[in-house]
Amino acid sequence: MTDASLWADRGAFLTHVELFVPSSLRPLARRGAPRPPPARAPHGPRALRTASALHLALDANDADAAAALIETSDAAALNTRSSSRVTPLLMLTMGRCTTQHAKARCEQLIWRVLERGGGASIAVRTKARLSAADHAERHQLSPRLVAHLRALEAAERARTAGERCEVCGDVFAHNKVAYAARRVASGEEENAMLLKFFSTSYHHKLLDPALHKLNELRTVRKELTESLAVLSALEDTPCSGGGPLSTPTRWHVVDIACGRGLTASLAALRYAGARVTAVDLNAPHIMPHWERTQECRVSYLQQDILGPAFLDAMARLEAESSSEAPARRDVAMLGMHLCGELSLRAIDAFELCRSAAVLVLSPCCLPAKGSEHAPDDLFASNQQIDQYHSWSAHLETLLRGRGYKVTRSVEKAMLSVKNVVLVATKVPKGPVAEVVLRVSLADDLAAACCRVSCDIQFVDRQSAT
């Protein structure tokens, strides 16, 4: 069996198996496939989750097999991206099939890829925002090749200028928000939360080209329900002086671990006049171009939420809110599907910021087994949904232990089984604190009496039967 056929067989095996194996089990399925020989990885390991035979050969630095596969691949295959979003051309310019004394062989493969139509994807960039020409220059390939790649890239960008974002240069992908709107208009959509959202006019503002990073979210229906659930919980929370919906100018909404910033964007559109900040570790270039919009104004703070500087950054945000004229802003902290210890960091930030009035938190994944932050009974059940609700209850207890008034609800319209929403509010200090405390205690006592009454009625029914 030739090297090229080995990679072709392995690629076909992976493609066939992974169609039928759950994503969580795919690494196990791969163990049965032929493995490439150990190869030098001059620029760090590259784990290709799914790939064509050509991708696999290049990843193994198998120049002979790659050369044979290039000759048998059509233009479509030569421009195909792996699940790591790299094309064969990108892999070659990133240093695959290159050694200190064999750059000429790599360049021969690049020229052959271009000759066979593999340059149609010349403008594709890696996650680091580098094109094939950028990588070729970094790896000190010949000036002639670099110049040729630059010229091809410029021509491709000019040809597709109308299909690209004028800010970042990315090609606009299929608009998932528009697709969700069409589902509602055609009667296909049944989710009550989405039906209500698309019955308003402000969802049209999400279609702004500057927000195309939001419109490209693959699971936008699910993420919309999650973000809307958090905002709905915020709006339903009684706030002295009015909430962000009625008095937006006195609020600063902070979206912690914002992802692509969907929750922050919806808050900015819904609460006109509020200050909105999105916080995450994502590189700014993958976020929406909020600065180019008229109504969806969001500030982005790139911050490692688990890092030591996060709480200091939140303290600075609070100081800015407290010093704003004509009056200080109250802070509403939002955390949509915060995984593990991220939920704990959001709680720490809420405690630190004195002007933080509301925390709306929807937890997601659990802390790691054996983590000091995991309660002893967290994994008592082997059912993931039971573990999730146990973690949510633990967070509720933690918030109550810090003196906050807390509500916990399950949002059934959220398109996720992880649909618990916790809302924590701080009991005000000063002359009104005693009144608020009495009301809070009265509410808790009434709820307890109601539960006791229900239990008694249940026992009576059991006795009667």
How far apart are alpha carbons 254 and 435 in whole angstroms?
29
Give mean pLDDT, residues 170-196: 95
Residue 56 has pLDDT above 50, yes or no: yes
Per-residue pLDDT averaged across 434-453, rounded?
Answer: 44
Tell me the mean pLDDT in the region 398-402: 96
Alpha helices in 384-432 (DSSP H): 384-401
Q: What is the pLDDT of residues 85-128, one digit of tens each?
A: 899 999 999 998 876 557 888 999 999 999 999 999 999 999 88
Give the whole-number percent of the chain exceeding pLDDT 70.
79
Q: How far apart are CA 236 and CA 186, in angstroms?
A: 31
Instruction: State residue 98's pLDDT score.
Output: 77
Higher confidence at residue 372 or residue 147? 147
Query: What is the average per-residue pLDDT within 189-200?
Result: 95
Query: How many Å apart are CA 411 and CA 227, to the nearest integer?
Result: 11
Mean pLDDT of the chain: 84
Q: Which of 17-26, 246-255, 443-452 has the lowest mean pLDDT?
A: 17-26
pLDDT at 370: 85
**Distance between CA atoms of residues 52 and 58, nearest Å:** 10
Q: What pLDDT is recorded for position 275? A: 95
Place of tokens 């009576």: 460
- Pairing status of strand 420-426 against strand 356-363: antiparallel
At 279-301, the pLDDT tens digits run 999 999 999 999 999 899 999 99
What is the percent of the chain where pLDDT is above 90? 66
- Let me know: does 349 contact 356? Beta carbons within 8 Å: yes
> Which pLDDT score is estimated for 75?
94
Q: Which are the contacts of 292, defined by CB distance < 8 A and separation ≥ 6?
A: 167, 210
Please state the rounded mean pLDDT for residues 306-323: 89
pTM beyond 0.85: no
pLDDT for 36: 42
pLDDT at 19: 38
CB–CB of 461/454 below 8 Å?
A: no
Q: Which pLDDT score, from 0 to 100, does residue 17 have?
A: 36
Q: 31: pLDDT confidence band, cut at 50, 70 and 90?
A: very low
> Which stretch of 112-116, 331-335, 459-463 has the lowest confidence by average pLDDT?
459-463
In degrees, rounded to 5, the angle at the alpha carbon of residue 133 between the alpha carbons of residues 127 and 137 is 100
